[in-house]
Amino acid sequence: MSGACVIGVDLGGTKLLAGVVDADLRVHHRTQRLVPHADTAALLDSVCQAVEEARVAARAPIVAVGFGIACLMDDRRGVAATSVHLPIADLPFADVMRERLGLPVQVDNDANAAMLVEWRAGAARGATDAVLLTIGTGIGGGLVVGGRLARGSIGAGPELGHMVIDEHGPPCPGGCPGRGCLEAFVSGEAIGRAGTQAALDRPDSGLGRVLASGRAVTGPLVTELAWDGDPVARAVLETSGRHLGVGITSLVNIFNPSVVVVGGGVIAAGDMLLEPARAVVAQRALWPARDVVEIVPAHFAEEAGMLGAATMALEAAGLRSVASPLPAERRA
Ligand SMILES: [Zn+2]
């Protein structure tokens, strides 16, 4: 390997993935670990160790590091404003990492990072208007509007998972004060809850037998049984897909995107989730916006966050061209 590389880090609620990435977005080394939640110091130590491990493994100069973090950003103060899953609230994360790593550092919300790389090189390539939903433990959102990554006035958007699809719906999990948000219906955790209820209702089903054996019914397990043909598990995904379609209908009506990219761990369900979503959009979204939108899985799948973080670092370092520049404050 010859050219300079960067390290992209996807810092999620449960796991961290760091990759050594070159200017063509090829990944030369990966390191993965569970994220410690005990306190901020333990978290930062673990992040630094992962970056150093990747740096040692890289057989090329590392010129920058990008982080996509599961948190809400506040550009006014340069901090991670809140995070449901990580002990980093009010931390000037970029400054701390710059100091500790001795390298230029870029930081953004993980879904914004995923949107960036899907837009530059993935499923939303060439789009001037695109939406990304990354569905895992919760739901992250990314937006390209008029050829620019839209992040809101202070960088705290776009939290598309907190779009309300049922005013009287269940309380939103985590730190959101809302009710009936898309995330309360369609996340991996929500699918696990719906799967558990379906298992209780139908003890004769594959899901029911799994629950009876003492195993927890999780989102990935529902998907696995659905792929195996269990009709009850498939029905759970069908219902989740229809909820997803209701949310996407609003996004299609508001933003008129040419593509809606769905990523995150839940997309392992593939068309079992996307087909019901497409059907709802076809029924309910406004014409003609509904006729131009494609609803597709993320090209970079579970690596979109890591590769998006790497893309931020590559663009800031001048190693990849910036077709539509990020706001200046994100490139400092
Ligand atoms: Zn919410």
Residue reference for tokens 């899985």: 297
| Nearest of 31, 117, 28 to residue 298 by alpha carbon | 117
Q: How far is the CA of 171 from the centre of ligand 1 (A)?
A: 8
Q: What is the pLDDT of residues 67-106, one digit of tens each?
A: 999 877 777 666 666 666 778 777 888 999 999 999 999 9
DSSP code of 267?
G
Q: How far is the CA of 206 from the centre of ligand 1 (A)?
A: 31
Q: How far is the CA of 11 from the centre of ligand 1 (A)?
A: 21
Q: How far is the CA of 106 from the centre of ligand 1 (A)?
A: 27
The answer to whether the CB of 221 falls within 8 A of the CB of 195 is: yes
Q: How far is the CA of 220 from the centre of ligand 1 (A)?
A: 22
Burial code (b: 16+ CB inside 10 Å, e: under 16) for 279-304 equals: ebbeeebeeebbeebebbbbbbebbb
Q: What is the pLDDT of residues 105-131, one digit of tens each?
A: 999 989 999 999 999 999 999 999 999
Which residues make beta-bridge pairs with 260? 131, 295
| CA dihedral for 237, 184, 151, 92, sign (positive or negative) | negative
For residue 183, what pLDDT is reported? 94
Cα separation, 320 vs 24, in Å, equals 8
Helices (H) and strands (E) in the chain, counts: 12, 12
Q: How far is the CA of 211 from the centre of ligand 1 (A)?
A: 28
Task: Tell me the residue type at 305.
Answer: G
Contacts 24+ apart (CB under 8 A), 26-32: 27/303, 27/306, 27/307, 28/1, 28/58, 28/59, 28/60, 29/54, 29/57, 29/58, 30/54, 31/57
Q: How far is the CA of 181 from the centre of ligand 1 (A)?
A: 5
Residues whose CB is less than 8 angstroms from the CB of residue 191 and which lie 6 or more positions away in sequence, other chains included? 219, 222, 223, 236, 237, 240, 266
The answer to whether the CB of 263 falls within 8 A of the CB of 300 is: yes
Mean pLDDT by 10 residues, the chain (332 residues): 86 90 95 88 93 93 94 70 73 91 93 96 96 92 95 89 95 89 94 96 95 94 96 97 98 98 93 98 97 96 94 94 53 42
Q: How far is the CA of 295 from the centre of ligand 1 (A)?
A: 23
Q: How far is the CA of 136 from the centre of ligand 1 (A)?
A: 14
